[in-house]
Amino acid sequence: MGNSKKSLTLLYIITPTYDRPTQIPDLVRLSNTLRNVKNLHWIVVEDGIKTLPHVKTLLEKSNISYTYLSATAHGKHRNLKGLAQRNIAIDWIRKNHPREKNAAVYFADDDNAYTLELFEEIRKTRKVSVFPVAFSGNLVFETPIVDNGKVTGYIGWARTTRMFPLDMAGFALNVNVLFNYPNIPTQIPDLVRLSNTLRNVRNLHWIVVEDGLNLSNYVKSLLQDSKILYTYLSASSPSSYVKRRLKGIAQRNKALSWIRKNHHKGLDAVLYFADDDNSYTLELFSEIRKTKKISVFPVGFTGGDMTFQAPMIENGKVVGFYAWAHDIRVFAVDMAGFALNVRVLFDYPKMMFSYTTPAGMNEEYFLKQCCTILVWHIRTQSPKLAKNISNIDWNVSSLIKRLKINTKIYKRNRINENILMR
Protein backbone atom coordinates (compact mmCIF):
# COMPACT_ATOMS: atom_id res chain seq x y z
CA MET A 1 0.00 0.00 0.00
CA GLY A 2 1.53 3.31 -1.08
CA ASN A 3 2.03 6.33 1.18
CA SER A 4 -1.01 8.57 1.36
CA LYS A 5 -0.75 12.33 1.62
CA LYS A 6 -1.75 12.17 5.28
CA SER A 7 1.01 9.70 6.14
CA LEU A 8 3.72 11.86 4.56
CA THR A 9 5.68 14.21 6.80
CA LEU A 10 4.52 17.77 6.24
CA LEU A 11 7.07 20.06 4.58
CA TYR A 12 7.29 23.77 5.35
CA ILE A 13 9.09 25.51 2.50
CA ILE A 14 10.19 29.05 3.42
CA THR A 15 10.93 31.39 0.53
CA PRO A 16 12.03 35.00 1.07
CA THR A 17 11.39 37.14 -2.00
CA TYR A 18 11.54 40.77 -3.12
CA ASP A 19 10.15 42.96 -5.92
CA ARG A 20 12.41 42.82 -9.01
CA PRO A 21 12.09 42.12 -12.76
CA THR A 22 12.83 38.39 -12.31
CA GLN A 23 10.63 37.88 -9.23
CA ILE A 24 7.56 36.46 -10.99
CA PRO A 25 9.54 34.23 -13.43
CA ASP A 26 11.57 32.88 -10.49
CA LEU A 27 8.46 32.22 -8.39
CA VAL A 28 6.67 30.61 -11.33
CA ARG A 29 9.56 28.22 -11.83
CA LEU A 30 9.70 27.36 -8.12
CA SER A 31 5.92 26.94 -7.88
CA ASN A 32 5.99 24.53 -10.83
CA THR A 33 8.51 22.45 -8.89
CA LEU A 34 6.59 22.54 -5.63
CA ARG A 35 3.33 21.53 -7.31
CA ASN A 36 4.88 18.08 -7.75
CA VAL A 37 5.53 17.69 -4.00
CA LYS A 38 2.77 16.26 -1.81
CA ASN A 39 1.80 17.50 1.67
CA LEU A 40 3.64 20.80 1.48
CA HIS A 41 2.96 24.26 2.86
CA TRP A 42 4.75 27.13 1.12
CA ILE A 43 5.55 30.19 3.24
CA VAL A 44 6.46 33.12 0.99
CA VAL A 45 7.66 36.28 2.71
CA GLU A 46 7.89 39.58 0.86
CA ASP A 47 10.70 42.03 1.64
CA GLY A 48 8.64 45.12 2.41
CA ILE A 49 5.89 46.54 4.56
CA LYS A 50 3.12 44.88 2.53
CA THR A 51 2.48 41.97 0.22
CA LEU A 52 2.17 42.40 -3.56
CA PRO A 53 -1.07 41.69 -5.48
CA HIS A 54 0.66 40.00 -8.44
CA VAL A 55 2.56 37.62 -6.16
CA LYS A 56 -0.64 36.80 -4.28
CA THR A 57 -2.38 36.03 -7.59
CA LEU A 58 0.46 33.70 -8.57
CA LEU A 59 0.21 31.85 -5.26
CA GLU A 60 -3.55 31.46 -5.53
CA LYS A 61 -3.23 29.98 -9.03
CA SER A 62 -0.48 27.57 -8.00
CA ASN A 63 -2.93 25.32 -6.12
CA ILE A 64 -0.30 24.97 -3.40
CA SER A 65 -1.17 25.40 0.28
CA TYR A 66 0.52 28.70 1.13
CA THR A 67 0.92 31.57 3.55
CA TYR A 68 2.00 34.96 2.20
CA LEU A 69 3.63 37.34 4.67
CA SER A 70 5.78 40.48 4.60
CA ALA A 71 8.66 41.70 6.72
CA THR A 72 11.11 44.57 6.62
CA ALA A 73 14.61 44.60 8.09
CA HIS A 74 15.61 47.70 10.02
CA GLY A 75 18.80 49.32 11.25
CA LYS A 76 21.97 47.24 11.27
CA HIS A 77 20.10 44.22 9.84
CA ARG A 78 18.97 46.06 6.70
CA ASN A 79 21.79 44.63 4.57
CA LEU A 80 21.28 41.06 5.79
CA LYS A 81 18.99 39.93 3.00
CA GLY A 82 16.31 37.42 3.92
CA LEU A 83 16.97 37.57 7.65
CA ALA A 84 13.74 39.33 8.66
CA GLN A 85 11.73 37.24 6.17
CA ARG A 86 13.03 33.90 7.46
CA ASN A 87 12.52 34.93 11.08
CA ILE A 88 8.90 35.94 10.55
CA ALA A 89 8.28 32.61 8.82
CA ILE A 90 9.78 30.76 11.78
CA ASP A 91 7.56 32.76 14.15
CA TRP A 92 4.52 31.87 12.03
CA ILE A 93 5.35 28.16 12.28
CA ARG A 94 5.79 28.36 16.04
CA LYS A 95 2.39 30.02 16.39
CA ASN A 96 0.42 27.91 13.91
CA HIS A 97 1.96 24.45 13.67
CA PRO A 98 0.01 21.68 15.47
CA ARG A 99 2.61 20.41 17.94
CA GLU A 100 1.42 16.81 17.72
CA LYS A 101 2.12 16.72 13.95
CA ASN A 102 5.54 15.86 12.49
CA ALA A 103 7.04 18.25 9.93
CA ALA A 104 10.30 19.39 8.37
CA VAL A 105 11.41 22.94 7.54
CA TYR A 106 13.49 23.94 4.51
CA PHE A 107 14.65 27.35 3.24
CA ALA A 108 14.20 27.50 -0.53
CA ASP A 109 15.27 30.74 -2.21
CA ASP A 110 13.24 31.56 -5.31
CA ASP A 111 16.25 31.80 -7.67
CA ASN A 112 17.50 28.23 -7.08
CA ALA A 113 16.64 24.99 -8.85
CA TYR A 114 15.67 21.88 -6.87
CA THR A 115 15.30 18.22 -7.79
CA LEU A 116 12.16 16.47 -6.58
CA GLU A 117 14.33 13.84 -4.90
CA LEU A 118 15.54 16.51 -2.47
CA PHE A 119 12.10 16.96 -0.89
CA GLU A 120 11.74 13.24 -0.18
CA GLU A 121 15.11 13.34 1.59
CA ILE A 122 13.99 16.37 3.60
CA ARG A 123 10.99 14.39 4.92
CA LYS A 124 13.38 11.99 6.65
CA THR A 125 14.84 14.75 8.84
CA ARG A 126 14.67 13.83 12.54
CA LYS A 127 16.59 16.81 13.84
CA VAL A 128 18.92 18.45 11.31
CA SER A 129 19.92 17.06 7.91
CA VAL A 130 22.52 18.45 5.51
CA PHE A 131 22.79 18.18 1.72
CA PRO A 132 25.34 18.92 -1.01
CA VAL A 133 24.69 22.11 -3.00
CA ALA A 134 26.07 22.78 -6.48
CA PHE A 135 27.04 26.19 -7.87
CA SER A 136 27.57 27.51 -11.37
CA GLY A 137 30.33 29.93 -10.28
CA ASN A 138 33.98 29.30 -9.36
CA LEU A 139 33.11 26.97 -6.45
CA VAL A 140 31.65 23.84 -8.01
CA PHE A 141 29.86 22.55 -4.89
CA GLU A 142 29.66 22.50 -1.11
CA THR A 143 29.01 19.21 0.64
CA PRO A 144 29.22 17.51 4.02
CA ILE A 145 31.88 14.85 4.51
CA VAL A 146 30.24 11.71 5.84
CA ASP A 147 32.00 8.85 7.63
CA ASN A 148 30.03 5.83 8.92
CA GLY A 149 26.78 7.72 8.62
CA LYS A 150 28.00 10.78 10.56
CA VAL A 151 29.06 14.21 9.35
CA THR A 152 32.77 14.65 10.13
CA GLY A 153 33.50 17.80 8.12
CA TYR A 154 32.58 19.93 5.13
CA ILE A 155 33.90 20.89 1.73
CA GLY A 156 32.97 24.54 1.34
CA TRP A 157 34.27 28.09 1.47
CA ALA A 158 35.85 29.23 4.76
CA ARG A 159 35.50 25.69 6.13
CA THR A 160 38.42 26.28 8.50
CA THR A 161 36.67 29.19 10.23
CA ARG A 162 33.00 28.14 9.99
CA MET A 163 31.65 25.41 12.27
CA PHE A 164 28.85 24.72 9.77
CA PRO A 165 30.05 25.85 6.32
CA LEU A 166 26.67 25.32 4.66
CA ASP A 167 24.63 27.15 2.07
CA MET A 168 21.11 28.22 3.11
CA ALA A 169 19.77 25.51 0.81
CA GLY A 170 22.11 22.91 2.27
CA PHE A 171 20.18 21.92 5.39
CA ALA A 172 16.70 21.13 6.74
CA LEU A 173 15.25 21.02 10.26
CA ASN A 174 12.66 18.91 11.95
CA VAL A 175 9.97 21.30 13.18
CA ASN A 176 10.54 20.19 16.78
CA VAL A 177 13.91 21.95 16.72
CA LEU A 178 12.04 25.25 16.50
CA PHE A 179 10.11 24.39 19.67
CA ASN A 180 12.94 22.74 21.62
CA TYR A 181 15.25 25.66 20.93
CA PRO A 182 12.83 28.58 20.92
CA ASN A 183 13.86 32.20 20.80
CA ILE A 184 13.17 32.51 24.51
CA PRO A 185 16.53 33.10 26.22
CA THR A 186 15.11 32.86 29.75
CA GLN A 187 14.37 29.11 29.88
CA ILE A 188 17.81 27.97 31.02
CA PRO A 189 18.37 30.92 33.43
CA ASP A 190 14.91 30.35 34.92
CA LEU A 191 15.59 26.63 35.40
CA VAL A 192 19.05 27.33 36.83
CA ARG A 193 17.54 29.68 39.40
CA LEU A 194 14.82 27.21 40.34
CA SER A 195 17.28 24.31 40.54
CA ASN A 196 19.48 26.35 42.88
CA THR A 197 16.45 26.77 45.14
CA LEU A 198 15.40 23.12 45.00
CA ARG A 199 18.91 21.89 45.80
CA ASN A 200 18.32 23.21 49.31
CA VAL A 201 15.18 21.10 49.80
CA ARG A 202 15.58 17.55 51.11
CA ASN A 203 13.66 14.52 49.91
CA LEU A 204 12.38 16.08 46.71
CA HIS A 205 11.62 14.70 43.26
CA TRP A 206 11.55 17.27 40.45
CA ILE A 207 9.31 16.45 37.47
CA VAL A 208 10.13 18.72 34.54
CA VAL A 209 7.89 18.48 31.48
CA GLU A 210 8.97 20.02 28.18
CA ASP A 211 6.34 21.53 25.88
CA GLY A 212 7.07 19.57 22.70
CA LEU A 213 7.58 16.12 21.22
CA ASN A 214 11.26 15.90 22.11
CA LEU A 215 13.44 16.61 25.12
CA SER A 216 16.00 19.41 25.13
CA ASN A 217 19.64 18.36 25.53
CA TYR A 218 20.36 21.66 27.26
CA VAL A 219 17.66 21.09 29.87
CA LYS A 220 18.68 17.46 30.33
CA SER A 221 22.27 18.48 30.96
CA LEU A 222 21.13 21.10 33.48
CA LEU A 223 19.02 18.54 35.36
CA GLN A 224 21.89 16.09 35.50
CA ASP A 225 24.24 18.75 36.85
CA SER A 226 21.72 19.86 39.49
CA LYS A 227 22.20 16.64 41.52
CA ILE A 228 18.44 16.68 42.17
CA LEU A 229 16.38 13.51 41.79
CA TYR A 230 14.40 14.26 38.64
CA THR A 231 12.20 12.92 35.86
CA TYR A 232 12.26 14.70 32.51
CA LEU A 233 9.23 14.21 30.26
CA SER A 234 7.69 15.89 27.23
CA ALA A 235 4.12 16.65 26.15
CA SER A 236 2.86 18.75 23.26
CA SER A 237 0.31 21.50 23.70
CA PRO A 238 -2.30 21.50 20.91
CA SER A 239 -1.80 24.71 18.93
CA SER A 240 -5.49 25.67 19.06
CA TYR A 241 -5.37 25.78 22.86
CA VAL A 242 -2.06 27.66 23.02
CA LYS A 243 -3.80 30.48 21.15
CA ARG A 244 -6.39 30.54 23.96
CA ARG A 245 -3.57 30.89 26.49
CA LEU A 246 -4.25 27.44 27.94
CA LYS A 247 -0.58 26.67 28.44
CA GLY A 248 0.86 23.98 30.66
CA ILE A 249 -2.22 21.75 30.69
CA ALA A 250 -0.68 18.89 28.68
CA GLN A 251 2.54 19.13 30.72
CA ARG A 252 0.83 19.07 34.12
CA ASN A 253 -1.43 16.19 33.07
CA LYS A 254 1.61 14.24 31.88
CA ALA A 255 3.22 14.72 35.29
CA LEU A 256 0.03 13.63 37.08
CA SER A 257 -0.12 10.47 34.97
CA TRP A 258 3.52 9.73 35.73
CA ILE A 259 2.93 10.07 39.48
CA ARG A 260 -0.10 7.77 39.37
CA LYS A 261 1.94 5.13 37.53
CA ASN A 262 5.16 5.38 39.53
CA HIS A 263 4.37 6.53 43.07
CA HIS A 264 4.39 3.93 45.83
CA LYS A 265 0.98 4.34 47.44
CA GLY A 266 2.27 3.54 50.91
CA LEU A 267 4.69 6.47 50.78
CA ASP A 268 3.41 9.83 52.01
CA ALA A 269 4.05 12.63 49.54
CA VAL A 270 2.85 16.09 48.59
CA LEU A 271 2.45 17.56 45.08
CA TYR A 272 3.14 21.18 44.18
CA PHE A 273 3.10 22.98 40.80
CA ALA A 274 6.16 25.25 40.58
CA ASP A 275 6.47 27.23 37.35
CA ASP A 276 10.06 27.89 36.35
CA ASP A 277 9.69 31.69 36.20
CA ASN A 278 8.66 32.11 39.84
CA SER A 279 10.81 32.58 42.94
CA TYR A 280 10.18 30.56 46.12
CA THR A 281 11.36 30.92 49.70
CA LEU A 282 12.67 27.76 51.34
CA GLU A 283 10.09 28.19 54.12
CA LEU A 284 7.37 27.42 51.58
CA PHE A 285 8.54 23.84 51.07
CA SER A 286 8.47 23.17 54.82
CA GLU A 287 4.87 24.37 54.87
CA ILE A 288 3.99 22.22 51.85
CA ARG A 289 5.12 19.06 53.67
CA LYS A 290 2.34 19.56 56.24
CA THR A 291 -0.40 19.15 53.62
CA LYS A 292 -2.94 16.51 54.71
CA LYS A 293 -5.26 16.97 51.74
CA ILE A 294 -5.07 20.44 50.19
CA SER A 295 -3.27 23.50 51.50
CA VAL A 296 -3.41 27.04 50.12
CA PHE A 297 -0.89 29.87 50.30
CA PRO A 298 -0.76 33.61 49.65
CA VAL A 299 0.92 34.72 46.44
CA GLY A 300 2.33 38.19 45.78
CA PHE A 301 2.63 40.02 42.46
CA THR A 302 4.45 43.13 41.28
CA GLY A 303 2.73 43.49 37.91
CA GLY A 304 -0.87 44.39 37.16
CA ASP A 305 -3.49 45.88 39.45
CA MET A 306 -3.44 43.27 42.20
CA THR A 307 -0.47 43.12 44.58
CA PHE A 308 -1.28 39.73 46.07
CA GLN A 309 -3.78 36.89 46.28
CA ALA A 310 -4.44 35.12 49.58
CA PRO A 311 -6.91 32.83 51.35
CA MET A 312 -9.09 34.44 54.04
CA ILE A 313 -8.84 32.52 57.31
CA GLU A 314 -11.30 32.40 60.21
CA ASN A 315 -10.77 30.05 63.15
CA GLY A 316 -8.17 28.11 61.19
CA LYS A 317 -10.45 27.50 58.21
CA VAL A 318 -10.51 29.03 54.73
CA VAL A 319 -13.73 31.02 54.33
CA GLY A 320 -12.94 32.85 51.10
CA PHE A 321 -10.23 34.35 48.94
CA TYR A 322 -8.76 37.77 48.44
CA ALA A 323 -8.13 37.57 44.67
CA TRP A 324 -9.29 38.64 41.25
CA ALA A 325 -12.74 37.36 40.24
CA HIS A 326 -13.23 36.06 43.79
CA ASP A 327 -16.96 36.55 43.42
CA ILE A 328 -17.25 33.98 40.61
CA ARG A 329 -14.35 31.63 41.45
CA VAL A 330 -14.92 29.12 44.23
CA PHE A 331 -11.17 28.50 44.47
CA ALA A 332 -9.64 31.85 43.59
CA VAL A 333 -6.02 30.71 43.83
CA ASP A 334 -2.96 30.94 41.62
CA MET A 335 -1.35 27.74 40.27
CA ALA A 336 1.45 28.15 42.79
CA GLY A 337 -1.02 28.99 45.56
CA PHE A 338 -1.94 25.45 46.55
CA ALA A 339 -0.49 21.99 47.22
CA LEU A 340 -2.17 18.62 47.59
CA ASN A 341 -1.34 15.36 49.23
CA VAL A 342 -0.60 12.74 46.60
CA ARG A 343 -3.35 10.52 48.06
CA VAL A 344 -5.85 12.92 46.46
CA LEU A 345 -4.66 11.81 43.00
CA PHE A 346 -5.51 8.20 43.84
CA ASP A 347 -8.78 9.05 45.60
CA TYR A 348 -9.83 10.92 42.47
CA PRO A 349 -8.18 8.99 39.61
CA LYS A 350 -9.81 11.11 36.89
CA MET A 351 -8.68 14.38 38.40
CA MET A 352 -6.86 16.24 35.61
CA PHE A 353 -6.63 19.68 34.04
CA SER A 354 -9.07 20.37 31.21
CA TYR A 355 -8.84 22.15 27.86
CA THR A 356 -12.51 23.12 28.10
CA THR A 357 -11.72 25.47 30.98
CA PRO A 358 -11.70 29.21 30.21
CA ALA A 359 -8.31 30.89 30.40
CA GLY A 360 -7.40 31.73 33.99
CA MET A 361 -9.74 29.13 35.50
CA ASN A 362 -7.48 26.05 35.41
CA GLU A 363 -6.95 25.99 39.17
CA GLU A 364 -10.68 26.40 39.78
CA TYR A 365 -11.65 23.43 37.61
CA PHE A 366 -8.87 21.23 38.95
CA LEU A 367 -9.68 21.74 42.63
CA LYS A 368 -13.44 21.44 42.15
CA GLN A 369 -12.92 17.80 41.18
CA CYS A 370 -11.90 16.84 44.71
CA CYS A 371 -13.49 19.45 46.95
CA THR A 372 -17.12 20.04 47.85
CA ILE A 373 -18.37 23.36 49.19
CA LEU A 374 -20.71 22.77 52.13
CA VAL A 375 -20.70 26.27 53.61
CA TRP A 376 -20.89 29.58 51.80
CA HIS A 377 -19.51 32.58 53.67
CA ILE A 378 -21.89 35.40 52.78
CA ARG A 379 -19.59 38.35 53.45
CA THR A 380 -17.71 39.51 50.37
CA GLN A 381 -14.66 41.69 50.42
CA SER A 382 -13.61 43.66 47.36
CA PRO A 383 -9.86 43.57 46.61
CA LYS A 384 -8.00 46.86 46.88
CA LEU A 385 -6.53 47.32 43.43
CA ALA A 386 -3.30 49.25 43.07
CA LYS A 387 -3.87 52.10 40.63
CA ASN A 388 -0.24 53.17 40.69
CA ILE A 389 2.30 50.39 41.16
CA SER A 390 5.01 52.94 42.04
CA ASN A 391 3.13 53.90 45.22
CA ILE A 392 3.28 50.41 46.68
CA ASP A 393 5.62 49.87 49.63
CA TRP A 394 7.53 46.72 48.70
CA ASN A 395 9.40 46.50 51.99
CA VAL A 396 8.90 42.88 52.98
CA SER A 397 8.27 43.62 56.66
CA SER A 398 5.63 46.24 55.98
CA LEU A 399 4.01 44.03 53.37
CA ILE A 400 3.68 41.16 55.82
CA LYS A 401 2.11 43.50 58.36
CA ARG A 402 -0.42 44.64 55.76
CA LEU A 403 -1.26 41.12 54.69
CA LYS A 404 -1.03 39.58 58.17
CA ILE A 405 0.24 36.46 56.43
CA ASN A 406 3.53 34.72 55.81
CA THR A 407 5.04 35.63 52.48
CA LYS A 408 6.19 32.42 50.83
CA ILE A 409 6.62 32.80 47.11
CA TYR A 410 7.92 35.41 44.72
CA LYS A 411 6.63 35.26 41.19
CA ARG A 412 8.22 37.06 38.24
CA ASN A 413 6.18 38.46 35.40
CA ARG A 414 7.81 37.04 32.23
CA ILE A 415 7.06 40.12 30.17
CA ASN A 416 8.25 42.98 32.34
CA GLU A 417 10.75 41.02 34.44
CA ASN A 418 9.12 42.24 37.65
CA ILE A 419 8.79 40.10 40.75
CA LEU A 420 5.58 38.72 42.13
CA MET A 421 5.30 37.95 45.79
CA ARG A 422 3.22 35.29 47.53
Catalytic residues: 363
Question: How many CB atoms within 10 Å of residue 143?
Answer: 19
DSSP string, 42-85: EEEEEESSS--HHHHHHHHHTT-EEEEEEE---GGGTTSTTHHH
CB 72 within 8 A of CB 48: yes
> Which is it for strands 40-47 and 10-17: parallel, antiparallel or unpaired?
parallel
Q: At what angle do helices 23-34 and 53-61 cross, to 10 degrees?
A: 20
Instruction: Give the whole-angstrom CA distance, residue 335 versus residue 364.
Output: 9
Instruction: Give the whole-angstrom CA distance, residue 68 versus residue 89.
Output: 9
CA distances, 374 to each of 279, 371, 404 (Å): 34, 9, 27
202 Cβ contact partners less than 8 Å away, ≥ 6 residues apart: none
Nearest Cα neighbor of 414 from 248, 253, 209 is 248
